[in-house]
Amino acid sequence: MNHYEIILMFNPDTNEKIQKTILKYNELIYNNKGIIHRFEDWGRRQMAYSINKLHKAHYILMNIETSTKFIKKLEIEFRFNRSIIRSMIMKTKKAINTSSIMVCSKHEKNV
């Protein structure tokens, strides 16, 4: 089993589909003997440059542990999902459980 960090950028116009899609992918990961170490919903954020005439996207971050064979299937799922604008999968050396800087800075602003 390998560790991966996944960032998904969803089309913000498909807001009602996002939660259903995330639940579907979480279920797929667990059904294929994967483990989700970290899951963060960053919400709607401004993008650095527009993609398909969109200036904002809904961001999701996941750190998972699964097989290489399954990650290739997941990558294909992301590619053919019309509500996902971009996806990025990176292999990591170990499981990451701590909160990301995006979540930490969000909490600091609320305090």
Q: Say which CATH number the domain at 19 has.
A: 3.30.70.60
Q: What whole-number distance in Å separates Cα of residue 67 and Cα of residue 81?
A: 21
Residue linked to tokens 């969109």: 54
CA 99 to each of CA 15, 31, 107: distance values in angstroms, whole numbers, following the listed order: 24, 25, 11
- What is the tens place of the pLDDT at every residue in 51-65? 888 899 999 999 999
- What is the tens place of the pLDDT at every residue in 15-54? 888 999 999 999 999 999 999 999 999 889 998 888 888 8
Q: What whole-number distance in Å separates Cα of residue 40 and Cα of residue 62?
A: 6
In which domain, by residue range, is 59 found?
2-110
Domain tally, the chain: 1
Among the listed residues 76, 65, 68, the one whose alpha carbon sits nearest the alpha carbon of residue 34? 65
- 20: β partners: none
